[in-house]
């Protein structure tokens, strides 16, 4: 799991003196970004205190200090929230395995209300699929059993699928863009839940088994995941594009309902064909054919 010092150091290296109005007089610099003492001066803290903060030896930083650092480092809203999450983390937190996640009955009712023409998934804090409708399953994981989300020990993991599952890799035409979003959101989640042993295990597994994940994770990006576009190459209906949007759940804030809508008439036709094919397959099974 990432620590406060590592995050500060990575962001310090991205801000040039010119961006914050410092004059360097053309002198050679050993680091591409700000020096520790420069960042400390601009944030209004002593160089010694900031050094201890970056080394994890300064205890808990105040909200005012963190906001000052965020301002100088030009952090956006999500990055600033991540900074505060890291600063609240106790030193040497002990990992513990949380209980299996269960989707709230209200989100399941909402999922059912969407029907089978609108693909949707319910995702847990680590990106595990807690539930999906037939359309969501057919769109993203028709190679997996439909009842997989109802088996806590065998739930599909979206991060694992993105980096370790060839079907998912081939499905997404903008795979790299979406993969980076998943990694950045996973980092944000790791800051919110620093003691989650299952989350730490997931990050460790992906780092060891996927060079691409390891490279993206080392990049230090952090962002939320609320809306965007997926360009797909589906084995049943061919090329299509869908927009996704995330609905947060007040009763279970760690969980997200992701809903997918067609991006254009051609994609709408492809979704209708896919949904109809799934309905016909279900009818065949139900009829014993």
Residue 102 parent element (H or E): none
Sequence-separated (6 or more) residues with CB below 8 Å from residue 173: 231, 232, 233, 239
Does residue 250 or residue 174 have the better pLDDT? 174
130 shares its domain with 210: yes
What per-residue confidence (pLDDT) applies to 2?
72
pLDDT band for position 140 (cuts 50, 70, 90): very high
Mean local confidence (pLDDT), 253-275? 92
Mean model confidence pLDDT for the chain: 88
**Same structural domain, 166 and 25:** no
280 pLDDT more than 70? no
The DSSP string of 246-276 is EEE-TT-TT-EEEEEEESSHHHHHHHHHHHH
Residue 100: inside a domain: no
Q: Which of 11-25, 149-163, 176-190 has the lowest mean pLDDT?
A: 11-25
In a domain, 96, yes or no: no
Most trustworthy range by pLDDT among 12-21, 163-172, 220-229: 163-172
Q: For the whole model, what pTM was predicted?
A: 0.85
pLDDT, average across residues 9-19:
85
With 90 as the cut, is the pLDDT of residue 112 above it? yes
- If asked whether residues 183 and 263 sit together in one domain, one would say yes
> In the structure, how many helices (H) and strands (E) does the chain have?
13, 5
Is 229:194 a contact under the CB 8 Å cutoff?
Answer: no
More confident residue, 15 or 123: 123
Task: For residue range 215-231, list pLDDT tens digits in order.
Answer: 999 988 999 888 999 99
Residue 248 has pLDDT above 80, yes or no: yes
Q: Do 122 and 201 sit in the same domain of this protein?
A: yes
Quote the pLDDT of residue 278.
61
Domain count, the chain: 2
Task: Give the CATH number, domain containing residue 80.
Answer: 1.10.260.40
Cβ neighbours for 81, distance < 8 A, ≥ 6 positions apart: 188
CATH number of the domain where residue 217 is located? 3.30.450.180
Q: Are residues 193 and 218 in the same domain?
A: yes
The whole domain housing 41 covers: 4-88
- For the residues 190-213, what does the mean pLDDT come to? 93
Asked whether residue 160 is assigned to any structural domain, the reply reads yes
Helix axes 4-12, 47-54, angle to 10 degrees: 120
């Amino acid at each position: 799991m990432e620590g406060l010092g590592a995050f500060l150091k990575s962001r310090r290296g991205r801000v040039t003196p010119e961006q914050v109005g410092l004059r360097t007089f053309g002198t050679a610099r050993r680091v591409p970004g700000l020096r520790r003492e420069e960042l400390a001066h601009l944030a209004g803290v002593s160089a010694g205190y900031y050094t201890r903060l970056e080394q994890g030896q300064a205890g808990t930083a105040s909200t005012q200090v963190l906001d000052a650092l965020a301002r100088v480092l030009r952090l956006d809203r999500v990055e600033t929230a991540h900074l505060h999450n890291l600063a609240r983390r106790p030193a040497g937190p002990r990992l513990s395995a949380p209980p299996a996640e269960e989707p709230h009955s209200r989100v399941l009712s909402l999922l059912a209300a969407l029907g089978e023409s609108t693909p949707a998934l319910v995702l847990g804090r680590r990106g595990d699929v807690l539930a999906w409708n037939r359309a969501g399953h057919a769109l993203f994981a028709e190679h997996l059993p439909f009842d997989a989300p109802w088996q806590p020990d065998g739930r599909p993991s979206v991060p694992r699928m993105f980096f370790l599952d060839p079907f998912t890799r081939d499905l997404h035409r903008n795979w790299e863009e979406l993969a980076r979003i998943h990694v950045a959101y996973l980092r944000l989640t790791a800051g919110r839940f620093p003691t989650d042993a299952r989350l730490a295990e997931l990050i460790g597994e992906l780092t060891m088994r996927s060079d691409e994940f390891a490279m993206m994770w080392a990049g230090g990006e952090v962002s939320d995941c609320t809306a965007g576009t997926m360009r797909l190459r589906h084995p049943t209906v061919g090329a299509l594009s869908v927009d996704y949007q995330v609905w947060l759940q007040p009763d279970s804030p760690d969980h997200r309902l992701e809903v997918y809508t067609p991006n254009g008439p051609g994609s709408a036709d492809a979704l209708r064909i896919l949904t109809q094919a799934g309905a016909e397959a279900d009818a065949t099974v139900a009829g014993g054919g």
